Amino acid sequence: MSDSTPANALRHRRLFLLHGSSAWCRGTADALLGKAGGREILWVTSETPQRGLAVTGKQLLSRLGSELDALILDAWAGFDPDAFGAAAGMVRGGGVVLILAPPLAEWPDHPDPALQRITPWPHDYRGIRSRFLQRFVRLIGENRSILTIAESDPLPELNLSPPTIHGDPSTECRTTEQQQAVEAICRVVRGHRRRPLVLTADRGRGKSSALGIAAAHLLREGLERILVTAPSPQAASALFRQAERLLPGSRHSGHELRWNRGTIGFVAPDALLAEPRQADLLLVDEAAAIPAPMLETLLRRHSRIAFATTIHGYEGTGRGFAVRFRERLDRLTPGWRMLHISSPIRWEEGDPVERFTFRALLLDASPADDREVSGAAAGDCAMLELDRDRLLSHESLLEELFGLLVLAHYRTRPSDLRNLLDCPDLSVYALLHDGHLAAAALVMREGGMERELAEQIWLGRRRVHGHLLAQSLAFHAGFPEAATLRYARIMRLAVHPAVQRRGLGTRLVTAIAEREERAGLDAIGTSFGATPGLLEFWHRMQFRTARVGLHREASSGSHAALMLRPLSRQGAELCQAIRSRLQQQLPELLRRPLNGLEPETAWHLLQNLPPPVTTLTPGEWRDAASFAFGRRSLQSCLTAIRKLVIATVADEDAATSITAPDRERLIRQIVQEQGNRKETSSLREAVRRLLEHARPQESDTQQLLNRLFTKL
């Protein structure tokens, strides 16, 4: 069997699957590549190949931005969907992707090391029949462009000669769309301030290169300081390569490129937020992988900024970014512009490897069309638990489900598709309208550990996989008995954008809680990046805060909130004990590790806790009043005012009368102790308004406050 040349002439890539014994697969791949004479060969494996560079799936991220002639994905070492999605995009037109796998009929039942990461205790990954791989094998069989080679088959000959370059390699831009992108980036600097650009593209379209070309243009025009930020320095490597190519004599040292008086410097997003820096232009690459709160802060600080992101990348996050970040752009910079690059540069349009990767990993999955679900109402939808075996034969429903999850969450990856299909103890609940998905939830069963194991987790000596609620409550909250109880954790909750705010999320959560209570579980819980809106929603669902993460999560940029709703007597007793402990701890946490928490979020967290047991003494009432109506210093009265603020937050009637600006002042300056002398007069007024709604029990204190208000 000989390798045909049209794919090379068209700059299309080819995908081969070698299936047989591990030794045969690796030896055959090495022999084929040896005859082909490829220049850039990368193996994704835990083994050491005879030729080419080898990396594991985790190490692969450090190679993003480079181009390959051949990629070998060793599924015997574990099939990582994220690695497959990322690495396939690195292969240039005319190159090949080789997948090495067990015999196809046996592959879904073969113990896959990659399953260890999604298999919760006490299950054994070696006993799992992979639905993800069943679907993957089926799609391979349906795709005529993929050549499958068994151990007994004759071998093809690979031709890895360099393909024809797309466009004129001597020009700066390879396509008209890339040229338009470069011009749009330059207009961000040349035009009016606060007119940001959002540049979107699939992989292989030259998006990052366009950023580098534009940066070089602007330095040649006299711009002096361009900052670049991205999830990692590697993610911005193509940008720097292009700029260096176009700036002869430039010097690249560390994370900075210097040319004449100008510089292009890389700064990590968290470092840029911690230490704001001046720049003539900020370029944000792979913006979808950076939490939205971080992006909003950058948008506020920099008047000239361009965002670029991959729409259908291995992260699977671009469309969710485009939908949710649009609201922030409309609100803060209504003159923003979006530009999309559709023409590929690294390979030709219609590339079979790209088509298969999109289909296999559902990178282009979309939720149901708005028209299909627009009539959905909470009471009319059918509520059911989806059978994951049946999902394999219902591809359109699987696409709607995964497409909805991608839209609803920033960090949805191809590995989440595998988790959805293969993870034991995971249930998928849905609301259907005329057969189409209007809302969905992923729910994990957790806990139920023996007391000895629970105590080891409490002491920090053991961790088991897949039990976030049970372990967090035992170790972080300090309740060893928590790991012995049984929980349902709502991992994901998504409502179709066309039918949000109609009660579908409420109906779904309520129905899930009722099912889990009938099943005998002790509590239902959830964990998410805390925002006022989400805290308010889950509070309405009768969930109460049990823990607040002390550090911001990389995925959301927010502090995690863990919330519980008891379903049994034991669950109610545990929830009450945990919340009482948190009520004592949270004010002190807000002064120290949570000092940077957004005031509105802190207010909602305090409001979500039981009322404080202690009340103000007569002396403390006088301290608060003397600050509000007199000129006593804040430090002299701080303890009393803090107790007053926390007591007011817990009183729903009083709390609702406090305005948002007052809430921010009271949380920042009183609870978090972020002093600002310029706002002392405003703070005195805010404390005065607190005292208007206060209810001191002592008649002398009441009379004192009445006299002070009368004299105003």
Question: Per residue in 147-205, pLDDT tens?
Answer: 999 998 988 877 765 554 555 555 689 899 999 999 999 999 999 999 999 999 988 89
The CA-atom distances, in angstroms, between 134 and each of 74, 147, 183, 378 are 17, 18, 46, 34
Query: What letter represents residue 110's amino acid?
Result: H
- The secondary structure element, H or E, covering residue 133 is helix 131-142
DSSP 443-470: EEEEE---HHHHHHHHTTS---TT-HHH
With a cut of 70, which residues of the chain have pLDDT below it? 1-10, 38, 62, 65, 160-171, 313-320, 322-323, 410, 677
Q: Comparing C-alpha atoms, which of 414, 404, 340 is closest to residue 369? A: 404
Q: Is the dihedral of CA 379, 385, 391, 393 positive or negative?
A: negative
Q: What is the largest CA-CA distance in the chain?
A: 100
DSSP 120: -
Tens digit of each residue's pLDDT (9 = 90 or more) over 450-460: 999 999 999 99
- The secondary structure element, H or E, covering residue 183 is helix 176-190
Q: 299 with 196: CB under 8 angstroms?
A: yes
Q: 295 with 287: CB under 8 angstroms?
A: yes
Query: What letter represents residue 586's amino acid?
Result: L
Which pLDDT value is given to residue 318?
55
DSSP 137: H
Backbone phi and psi for residue 433, each to the nearest 5 degrees, phi listed first: -125, 115
Backbone phi and psi for residue 79, each to the nearest 5 degrees, phi listed first: -95, 105
User: Which residues, in sequence order, are CB contacts of 483 under 8 Å at separation 6+?
Assistant: 447, 449, 453, 454, 457, 458, 467, 470, 471, 473, 474
User: Which residues, in sequence order, are CB contacts of 163 under 8 Å at separation 6+?
Assistant: 8, 9, 11, 92, 93, 94, 95
Q: Comparing C-alpha atoms, which of 525, 422, 425 is closest to residue 471? A: 525
DSSP 520-555: T-SEEEEEEE--HHHHHHHHHTT-EEEEEEEEE-TT
Give the C-alpha separation, 567 to 666, whole Å.
35
Q: 648 with 579: CB under 8 angstroms?
A: no
User: Which residues, in sequence order, are CB contacts of 558 under 8 Å at separation 6+?
Assistant: 291, 293, 529, 530, 531, 552, 601
The CA-atom distances, in angstroms, between 699 and each of 181, 619, 627, 695, 705 are 71, 13, 20, 10, 10
**Which residue spans within 273-343 are E strands per DSSP?**
281-284, 305-310, 337-341
Domain annotation for the chain: domains and CATH numbers: 6-150 (3.40.50.11040), 176-341 (3.40.50.300), 370-398+420-579 (3.40.630.30), 618-710 (no CATH)
The CA-atom distances, in angstroms, between 697 and each of 56, 132, 491, 573, 623 are 67, 64, 45, 30, 16
Backbone phi and psi for residue 288, each to the nearest 5 degrees, phi listed first: -65, -20
User: Which residues, in sequence order, are CB contacts of 33 under 8 Å at separation 6+?
Assistant: 41, 51, 52, 70, 72, 98, 158, 160
Query: What letter represents residue 95's amino acid?
Result: G
Instruction: Give percent helix, percent strand, percent coil of the chain, each to the nearest 5.
Output: 45, 20, 35
Work out the angle between the directed axes of helices 634-650 and 618-629 (0-180°, nearest 10): 110
Q: Is the dihedral of CA 38, 40, 46, 51 positive or negative?
A: positive
3 state SS for 139-151:
HHHHCCCEEEEEC
Q: Is the dihedral of CA 688, 694, 698, 702 positive or negative?
A: positive
The CA-atom distances, in angstroms, between 194 and each of 217, 304, 305, 309, 573 are 21, 6, 8, 19, 53
